[in-house]
Structure 1
């Protein structure tokens, strides 16, 4: 049973111009460039199967892009629909545990947490610990305290070096 070819996708001159700019872009995300090319071909009246083959997508995806364009235009073009994309693999409670341990404790016999020691303590990978710390600006290896020398002649040496009395 052959499906009827989809009609040419109606679009305004402004929409076509925006899609042409996106389709030529070398800096836009690949998925946006791919979708823009597919919509332009659909606007020219090309069949969904030919569009899918040319842009490297499935026919189902091309149909979904067409339907979304008819319903929303370019308003939400760059937004990924809710529920799509990579899902969180680490629970929020584990993230909070890592942050709390980083801020309020030290590993036994060490001065600060490293990615590996935190990973071993919490049961996640060291790269996940690094991503959590980076996202929150945590740098446990940097010392934020001032240490005063316990040298008995520290004051005399300080005056000699600085020259203040």
Structure 2
């Protein structure tokens, strides 16, 4: 086995998403511009809107999907939702394949999603590794499909050597 290591860290860096959030922030702050005086209820509403948008921005900025595969195991985590690595030894994985999908149509969006058949952990794009274990099926989005395909070949070689195919 070549002990090839696949490492990937993905974040929500789509320009249109951040443009949308800054647009909402502008709408929330707009009443502060050009108004001589705002009554306390208006200021309270602006404050709640501002805190909500800023919390959404901080959450989105802090979210990242990290995947590590190699040395006979697969690990992933999606911070800040789970900090500990979820680890699967290759011997516990039944199959691993590269799939193309439509995150919006098939799962209703990005992030941590389910289509009631399996879980999806995806930040962007339409490619992912479909992983099947004895107890669980899940998909990890990837922006590196060529490197993922190499890991799948290494995984299949491991399975055929150690488990008779």
Structure-1-length-normalised TM-score: 0.31
TM-score of the aligned structures, taking structure 2 as reference length = 0.31
- Higher percent of residues as strand: 2
From the two aligned structures, give the one with the greater helix fraction: 1
Larger Rg: 1
